[in-house]
Amino acid sequence: MSLAVPACFFQIIDQASITSPKGFVSAGIHVGIRKRKRDLGVLICTVPATAAAVYTTNAFQAAPLKISQENINKEGKLQAIVVNSGVANACTGERGIEDAKAIASQAAQLLEIPAHYVGVASTGVIGQYLPMDKLTSGLEKVIPTANEAGGYDFAEAILTTDTFTKQVQVKLQVDGKEVTIAGAAKGSGMIHPNMATMLGFITTDAAIESNHLQLLLKETTDKTFNMITVDGDCSTNDSVFVMASGLAGNESLNPQHADWDAFQAAFTYVCQELAKKIAKDGEGATRLIEVEVTGASSRQMARKVAKAIVGSNLVKSAVFGADANWGRILCAAGYGEPLLRPEQVQVKLGTVAVVDKGLPVPFDETKASEILNQEKVDIHINLQQGAYQAVAWGCDLTYDYVKINASYRT
């Protein structure tokens, strides 16, 4: 169960790296913002890359996002992104803005590029100022070390409470040229579908104009990153950046291009898999929950119901306890979309039918419990009101989620 992403258009690469597309290098090091782990990363393109981005809808948008948005809007291009973990640089006022500008300026000087070709991103504790002395000295160290083998170090440097790095890569043919798309992301807590709800970085060597790339990212975000939730909290720093070097040598992509559908499918797959990895790595999570809604009268209805179910703390708790309490699923569907018709709804836990026409049906509790104990739990709900569908991803709610967030600053 997943989005209709035709994998026949592209090849999935197991050893994924954000630097695999032509023209990209990266690095990640420890500069002392965090106690031991890598906490400063750079992603660099050898040429000015076509750029696009989406940002959090939280009113307290962090300073780095404001600077990145301002820089991208000047030409629709980036050549480098600097990311730190440990401190979010959010709710830091004018000082936070100046610090974000200083990071972009220093990186630009070291790379000998215009300052507006540098994007900045931060993740970590809200309300703390960046330790600029550590970042200043860190940039002088990390930028010279960036190389094509630095993908893993970069992917590790952007993490906070994540338990694993998140990378995806595919390749396909465009105009007979090999094109690569790769992505790296972080996200574990403060994840809720209200933009992208995480930090995500996507690279490609395809040639594509910024307006088409921006539209593609926005449309893809709505059906991938916007369909995940861990805890219902939309962070201040969430963003997804895309950089396209154009070095694959293809004719510039647009919706009329013969290979547009293939490129769109490959791009969607990268975003979808990153989104699923984030949902799977929810703080304290033991299971990935995938909710598929079919038979909706509109795409909006399908998405609202799917997100309501996967975001329900009662549903998440039931999955953690392997309790086939289907009433919680119906309850969430009902408040997610009050216009659905209860007498037509069908629900399955994996292959086990538990509800038909809004009423309970006899089922094997042991089989249902086995399904809920699997690493990936599938919930299907058919509204039988139309032809639209949607998929949302989340995770179970465990004791460890409270433990992790009760001591996040300490």
What DSSP element (H or E) covers 314? helix 313-320
The pLDDT tens digits of the residues spanning 324-363 come to 999 999 999 999 998 899 999 999 999 999 999 999 999 9
Structural domain count, the chain: 2
Percent of the chain with pLDDT over 70: 92
| Residue 229 included in any domain | yes
Per the residue annotation, which of 56, 92, 165, 197 is the catalytic one? 197
Whether 23 and 70 share a structural domain: yes
Highest mean pLDDT range out of 109-113, 126-130, 282-286? 109-113
Residue identified by tokens 């926005």 is 218
CA-nearest of 4, 275, 6, 16 to 170 is 16
For 227, 257, 292, 315, the CA distances from 289, given in Å and listed in that order, are 12, 36, 10, 10
Q: Average pLDDT in the 38-64 region?
A: 92
Domain boundary among the residues 249, 280, 311 is at 280
| Residue 298 included in any domain | yes
For residue 262, what are the contacts with CB-CB under 8 A and spacing of at least 6?
Answer: 9, 10, 172, 173, 174
Q: Average pLDDT in the 287-315 region?
A: 94
345: number of CA atoms within 13 Å, CB side?
25
Instruction: Report DSSP letters for 223-260, one per residue.
Output: HTGGGB-SSSPPPSS-EEEEEE--TT-PPPB-TTSTTH
pTM of the predicted protein model:
0.85
Whether 27 and 94 share a structural domain: yes
User: What pLDDT is attached to residue 163?
Assistant: 85
For residue 190, what are the contacts with CB-CB under 8 A and spacing of at least 6?
Answer: 197, 230, 231, 233, 234, 235
Whether 213 and 327 share a structural domain: no
Residue 8 reports pLDDT greater than 80: no
Question: Do 390 and 227 meet the contact criterion of CB atoms below 8 Å apart?
Answer: yes
User: What pLDDT is attached to residue 372?
Assistant: 95
Q: Average pLDDT in the 397-403 region?
A: 75
The pLDDT tens digits of the residues spanning 375-397 come to 999 999 999 999 999 999 988 88
User: What pLDDT is attached to residue 381?
Assistant: 98
| Residue 238 included in any domain | yes
Residue 130 reports pLDDT greater than 60: yes
CA distance 257 to 241: 23
CA distance 79 to 67: 15
| Residue 113 included in any domain | yes
Residue 19 reports pLDDT greater than 60: yes
User: What pLDDT is attached to residue 58?
Assistant: 76
Residue 194 reports pLDDT greater than 70: no
Question: Do 277 and 166 meet the contact criterion of CB atoms below 8 Å apart?
Answer: yes
Q: Average pLDDT in the 12-32 region?
A: 97
Domain boundary among the residues 258, 280, 302 is at 280
Whether 225 and 373 share a structural domain: no
Identify the CATH number of the domain in which residue 395 sits: 3.10.20.340
Domain housing 73: 7-280
Whether 254 and 216 share a structural domain: yes
Identify the CATH number of the domain in which residue 58 sits: 3.60.70.12
Least confident of 137-151, 188-202, 388-402: 188-202
Percent of the chain with pLDDT over 90: 78
Whether 59 and 183 share a structural domain: yes
Domain boundary among the residues 259, 280, 301 is at 280
| Residue 1 included in any domain | no
Residue 322 reports pLDDT greater than 60: yes
Could you give the 3-state DSSP secondary structure of residue 148? coil
Whether 294 and 267 share a structural domain: no
| Residue 305 included in any domain | yes
Cα-Cα-Cα-Cα dihedral sign, residues 94, 95, 97, 98: positive
Whether 62 and 93 share a structural domain: yes
Whether 49 and 109 share a structural domain: yes
| Residue 163 included in any domain | yes
The pLDDT tens digits of the residues spanning 61-97 come to 899 999 999 999 999 999 999 999 999 999 999 999 9
Q: Average pLDDT in the 260-276 region?
A: 95
Give the pair of three-digit tokens for residue 330: 């119906």
3-state secondary structure 55-98: ECCCCCCCHHHHHHHHHHHHHCEEEEEEEEEEECCCCCHHHHHH
Whether 201 and 296 share a structural domain: no
User: What pLDDT is attached to residue 189?
Assistant: 46
Whether 134 and 265 share a structural domain: yes
Whether 163 and 261 share a structural domain: yes
| Residue 362 included in any domain | yes
Q: Is 197 a catalytic residue?
A: yes
